[in-house]
Amino acid sequence: MKFIPDKDILLFKSCLVNVEYPGIESSTSYIFDRIDVEYYVDERQSCCTGLGHYYDLFDQLSTTALAARNFQIAAETGHKNIAVMCATCYAILKKSANILNQNEEARNKVNKILDDSNLEKMEYNTYDMDPVKNIFHVAEIFFNKRDKISSLVKVDLSGFRVATHHACHYCKVHYNDTIEGVRDPNLIDSLAAAVGVETIGWYDHKRVTCGAGFRQRFTNKEVSLAVTAEKLHVLKENEVEILLHMCPNCQMQFDRYQPYIENKLETEFNIFHLNISQFIALALGADPYKVLGIQTHTVPIEPLLKRLKLPFNIVDQKENAKAEKSLKN
Amino acid sequence: MKTIKLQNNSLKLVKDVLKDLKASPDLGIYKCVQCGMCTSVCPGASQTEYDPRDMIRRVLEDDETVIDDENIWNCFSCYTCNSICPSGNNASEINQILRQMSIDKGEGIQKIVSFSAYGDSFMELGVGSIPNTFFDVMVKDVGPEYMNLKLNIEDIRADLGLGSYILPEEAINEVESILDNSGFKNRLERIKRCKK
């Protein structure tokens, strides 16, 4: 089992967390603050280029050069460990670190690019960033602190039927570094267990992609959504009520498109989609709007909260929309 | 006596693939036994004519027409093939290299031109996101709430105690300078020129 740190952590911002589900970041901070994880967020950190990389728009050298800059920001601030909230950031950063450490020609090219950009101070030396010892998914940081998390649980979520969707770019790219299973992934199942929730465990299609496929969702939508729909059908057969995620792109594919697929197929799945950070934060008693950020979800989370009978000030978004409409009329 | 003469360049394509910066040093393409595990677990193969096993065979047989094969654009980059390959090969990574070869030749540019807005946003803000070319279709698919989310994102972030997601100006300049010197800026211009 690899060593997982709990300090000197740069919490690495993700483009899709930023603008689609920012509640993943506030939930992660909420948990880190309570389980004694020392971390830092740097406003200078650029995106990993992940979406652009898999749209085939970015070239590998540019992606690697930007990674070198971000690695130096991490090192310079004394936060040499990187924790990501997005599985694609995880895969991209590890690959870039591998290239910078193993490929002298590429490293020299990257350093020349940095020199030409007046960023000599950011030059990369071999093993400034160790992809195994320094790059993690936040779920791994939680896993390392799961006993502490268990001791802080305030809300009982065990009444729901829960399944997990493990992100491909965490499990299957650098699979030798993946913890808690690759072909039968259980990392987020273990985290659900830490907050007192027994998931359904293995199910047919458990390891199948969300279907986003980067370009596929936009240029091949029918094919992309067919893969998503297949997984949703299996989850429905298993009577799943909550699907837990560890990647904002997967969460987007399921949360944004579930109603669309329901309409097309004239069926209902009624599955809530939460990131593992949001789920743990909820179990720890975090506010749904001020921490979890459920107001950015497409499938409303309010019905889930109502079942918990918590003293939250629940906003009924559908009722609100109706009221606003009638006011306008 | 009959002898088999190996062509001098019979491994040109596979050598070019292995030379690519994207190719991992331990990429096991020569060890491929054509078992077909990759194809059997591939979402692209289950939905389209894409066949990663056949793609690897063609690379090993120096069949350069594979670069122009439309089907290589149906890979989901999910790496399930990689995680299951008994030979340590990585069809997903090889697919990405072939797509870049197609882009370098010119034909592949049409496949990525609609994503060029991602590059513009990256140069402008230091962050990427869903290319704004696809906003209209997202709003149509997801609903008007999606547009509201885009318009109010900074307020929502503030409610969550988060700062602006856009990089400070000095950092944006650094990113832009790196992307200029790495050749990305030129590459993006070249791609945008192909817009129909």
Element (H, E) at A244: strand A242-245
**Number of A–B residue contacts, CB under 8 Å:** 220
Q: Are residues B158 and B88 in the same domain?
A: no
Pick the last residue of a domain from B66, B88, B107: B107
> For residue A188, what pLDDT is reported?
98
Count of domains observed in chain B: 2
CB B88 within 8 A of CB B104: no
Q: Is residue B141 in a domain?
A: yes
Question: Are residues B60 and B121 both part of a single domain?
Answer: no
Provide the domain limits for residue B28: 12-107
SS (HEC) of B40-96 = HCCHHHHHCCCCHHHHHHHHHCCCHHHHHCHHHHHCCCCCHHHHHCCCCCCHHHHHH
B26 and B84 in a single domain? The answer is yes
Residues B92 and B131 in one domain: no
Q: Provide the 8-state DSSP code for A266.
A: T
What's chain A's average pLDDT?
A: 95
Whether residue B59 sits in one domain with residue B122: no
Kindly list the distances between the CA atom of residue B16 and the CA atoms of B59, B64, B125, in Å, as whole numbers in the listed order.
10, 11, 35
Q: How far is CA B66 from the centre of its chain?
A: 16
Q: What is the ipTM of this complex?
A: 0.95
Q: Are residues B98 and B116 in the same domain?
A: no
Give A182-240 pLDDT, tens digit per residue: 999 999 999 999 999 999 999 999 999 999 999 999 999 999 999 999 999 999 999 99
Contact B78 A172 (CB under 8 A): yes
**For chain A, which domains are there?**
9-137 (1.20.1050.140), 154-310 (3.40.50.11810)
CB < 8 Å to B143, chain A:
259, 298
CATH number for B93: 1.10.1060.10
B164 and B97 both lie in a single domain: no
Contacting A residues, span 34-73, partner chain B, CB-CB under 8 Å:
43-47, 49-52, 54-62, 64-66, 69
The single-letter code of the amino acid at A220 is N
Under 8 Å CB-to-CB from B161, ≥6 apart: which residues? A26, A29, A290
pLDDT at A312 over 80: no
List chain B residues with pLDDT less than 70.
1-9, 196
Same domain as B98, residue B20: yes
**Residue carrying structure tokens 């799961």:** A146
Same domain, B141 and B65: no
Tell me whether residue B61 is in a domain: yes
Shared domain check, B100 and B125: no
Last residue of a domain, one of B40, B72, B107: B107
- Residue at a domain's end among B107, B137, B159: B107
Interface test with A, best of B20, B42, B102, B127 (most A CBs within 10 A): B127
Is position B2 within any domain? no
Give the lowest-confidence range in A36-40, A94-98, A280-284, B2-6.
Answer: B2-6
* CA–CA separation, A48 and B109 (whole Å): 22
Give the amino acid at B18: L
